[in-house]
Chains A and B, each alone.
Chain A
Amino acid sequence: MSFSLTLTVNGETRAIDLDDPRVTLLDLLRERLHLTGSKKGCDRGQCGACTVLVNGRRVNSCLALAVSLDGADVLTIEGLAQGDALHPVQAAFIDHDGFQCGFCTPGQIMSAVGLIREGQAGDDPERVREGMSGNLCRCGAYIGITQAVLEAQARLAAEQGEAA
């Protein structure tokens, strides 16, 4: 049995033939589309390393069946930067040293992008910490992560203000 689905991945619409309905979005990205930036830390929705945006919302790609996402728009860490220009969240993670080993980082960054889009945390560090608590960092880079999210949020808010 084969399944045909259409996914837009990082802006590119792709027709995908799946021979197996068991393939999760994460395994589709990593093993079949060779987008290995999204990481598998637990495969059970408990660490956040696989976080991507689906239709603009951050989700755990390890707990979504690809076949069920027919028609979805998926943004991964590979699609975040615009050419050579890092997304403000990416730049802020470097500036604030929001990582050590880097394994959770793609998930942290995609989660931060989702968090900022959700617009619920604003400039409140406590809300940012709560909102980022679905992303484990075993190295313990949380201090830098929170600072990076706050700075990127402020920069994006300022850019939006300028654009308006």
Chain B
Amino acid sequence: MPDIAYEQARHGSSIGQPLTRRDGILKVTGAATYAADNRPEGLLHAVVAVSRIARGRVTHLDVAAAKGHPGVVAVMTGANAPKLAQDPDAKDNPFMFRLDLLQSDQVRYAHQPIAVVIAETLEAATEGAELLAPRYAVEPARIGLDVEAPQEPDAVGAGDKARASRGDVEAGLAEAERRIETVYETAAQYHNALEPHAIVAQWDGDRLIVDTPSQGLGMAQMRLAALFGLDPKNILVRSPFLGGGFGSKGLLSGPQVLGVMAAKLVGRPVKLVLRREQMFGPVGHRAETRQTLRLGTDASGALTALDHHTLTATSSFDDFYEPASALSRYLYAAPAVSTGHSGVRVDTGTPLFMRAPGEASGSVALEGAIDEMAEACGLDPLDFRLKNYAEAEPISGRPFSSKALRECYAQGAARFGWDKRAKAPRSMRDSAGRLVGYGVGTALFPALMMQAEARAEIRADGTGTVALGAHDMGQGAWTALAQIAADGLGIDLAQLDFQSGRSDLPNAGIAGGSAHTATAGSAIHSATSAVLAQLAELATGDERSPLYGAGNAGVFARGGRLLRRDDEGRGESFADILARAGRASVSAEGKAAPDSASREAYAMHSHGAVFAEVSVDPDLGQIRVTRLVGAFAAGRIVNPRLVTSQYYGGMIWGVSFALHENAVLDPRSGRVMNANLGEYHVPVNADVPAIEAILVEEYDPHVNPLGIKGVGEIGITGTAGAIANAVYHATGIRVRKTPITLDLLLG
């Protein structure tokens, strides 16, 4: 448990306050402990050796050479790896992905782990892995979307339907006054959290302690229990801080498990950290897509039909299909909407959830197609979007639980200066003669709820504890969830002991789907409400209390006291209530889960509008996103400072999606040829000179008890499309693939 210094105690409500991060001091002093910073006594270093081929078999490893290197303690291969209690290729549910744990000599993708070298020093382990000099029986790599005839998958994303539709799209297109058909392609991307996947594993008999970054502590614990045949209670997973996750640390990856196996093999604690190039293979990625969109409108510009089909790729041995068409089920009104997916199998690692899986890729294509359709209708892109504003969810027909998208469009456009946009493309210039373009994109991300548990306690001294195994990967759980906890208990933050980030606390579910604050926050709300109910019962049933007779519903908590709703002057401190009752503390557990009734009745999404200005050199093609304004409505805002940062980060991922990220595969070998941060580009500071985020007010009584929607992923959606549309507006060149690179703009 990190020792977090408190610098901010505030009276009254914490929720809504723009508090700075409670873990800030730890992070700016280098004291925040990430997995690879742990050093139990007797620690050995493990380095993974990975395959250089994409398909075939490993026929030889020079284990003797590796073992002969001074300092090398052991080489773990399929021959001597500890036996596992669960087949790594088992798949019991869609959330369970097949792992490469040295179970065979088969190679299924480049950078697949094929051995682990364990040594006294990192230098020795690293060279030991090099000395293994594997030999292979190579089979031709199958790469690219045209590698085989596509098949429709059973499900896409996390168990979504591959196909969904309403109305007759063909009829809608046939009757349309105007129609377009357009194809967009998006490149494969790799998460590349700045912290490579790392694990420090220590065995003590049949007990296991691991320090490893995790967006899902409970699931990691259960997977380890299954793989090693352990009682989950005997496994402790600690992850107080993640150095970024973006989906790649949601499920335990193969290399993390290899670290545990290595520790078991050598009987000493082991640290295993992936090398950067090894992040391109065994820990998931966002697969490439080719999306075909067909749109039709009537004479007024109202959509008569929208058809969105995605072709994508999964691995040869497991199933994850980027659900890129799903966005069209939620966003624009049309009497006929059809969405579908198909996939091919290629020799890469299995794609996985990567920040806004589906929505990010789908958004850039849909927003481009919408822009093309607007132009075909002679309408301003923003007017066209307003014209086709969905008052109910297009396919399901459900009303929205809340939707302040109109306000997002209006506030964003005003702030951005959308009215200064010249209608014709390639007609705006800056003072140096560079082409200037404005573009807009609509942002949307579903407001999900998952399952979580939390524990809360108030003690006789008036202080409180809230505990749950939540995850802080940068979104600010240490701060935002503590704010919810303090408010839930009615105490100041300074009086709260907030415990998180480990698997021996109540299971807080998974930090994914932009649902962690909503879900874990709701569990906290449930637990703290239960604690206050106990306190209220003690007080209101006691004649000696000033709250006597008020009833549970007649009191509320603030500043460590219970107060009468009808007379705030009458109240009693928690300490007094507990002292009189002779209780050292009251505690309770709480749970959160989606409310199926309200989820059936309402469609629930966060919305936003992103406006982009780009500058393009007319001769040389180089692009710079000179300004981004995003306006987002996402229900109740727990901490506007942290939420703003999430929007900024998401929008920068949008810049990255539109202009930079591109895993370049050699089509012959199947190897990623830019598996490094020098040439797999993500934006640098100079790429994002000006970003603004507007937090649009929105009240949602249905989404969850706290009215919170997600903010972590929505920023990518809308942004990439807005940039692509701005590039078109600047240059008159419609690039229908991402990343948009300068060579595509030379004309």
Contacts and interface: CB of A to CB of B under 8 A. Distances in A.
A23 interface: yes
B123 A100 contact: no
Contacts of A141: 645, 648-649
A40 interface: yes
A108 B244 CA distance: 15
A42 interface: yes
Contact of A140 (B273, B275, B642, B683): B683
Interface in A31-47: 31, 34-47
B21 A103 contact: no
Nearest to B472: A101
B91 interface: no
Interface string B29-41: 1111110110100
B676 A143 contact: no
B21 A97 contact: yes
B21 A94 contact: yes
Interface in B16-56: 20-21, 23-34, 36-37, 39, 45
Contacts of A94: 20-21, 24-25, 28
Interface string B233-255: 00000000111111000000000
Contacts of A46: 276, 676-678
B686 interface: yes
Contact residues of A: prevailing secondary structure: loop
A80 B685 contact: no
Given A36-B37, A139-B474, A139-B649, A90 B29 contact: yes
Contacts of B652: 140, 142
B650 interface: yes
A22 B27 contact: no
Given A129-B685, A130-B686, A141-B645, A40 B678 contact: no
B515 to A, nearest CB: 18
A43 B246 CA distance: 21
A86 B31 CA distance: 13
Interface residues of A, number: 62
Interface in A110-164: 125-126, 128-130, 132-146
A31 B271 CA distance: 11
A134 B269 CA distance: 34
Interface in B435-493: 472-476
B29 A135 contact: no
Contact residues of B: prevailing secondary structure: loop
Contact of A136 (B644, B653, B684): B684
Interface string B350-386: 0000000000000000000000000000000000000
A109 B642 CA distance: 20
A95 B7 CA distance: 12
Interface string B503-533: 0000000000000000000000000000000
B123 A145 contact: no
Given A20-B121, A129-B685, A38 B21 contact: no
Interface stretch (B191-199, B557-565, B581-589, B595-603): B191-199
A53 interface: no
5 contacts: A39-B243, A94-B24, A104-B194, A125-B689, A130-B686
Given A78-B31, A126-B689, 5 more contacts: A94-B24, A97-B641, A100-B475, A105-B28, A142-B648
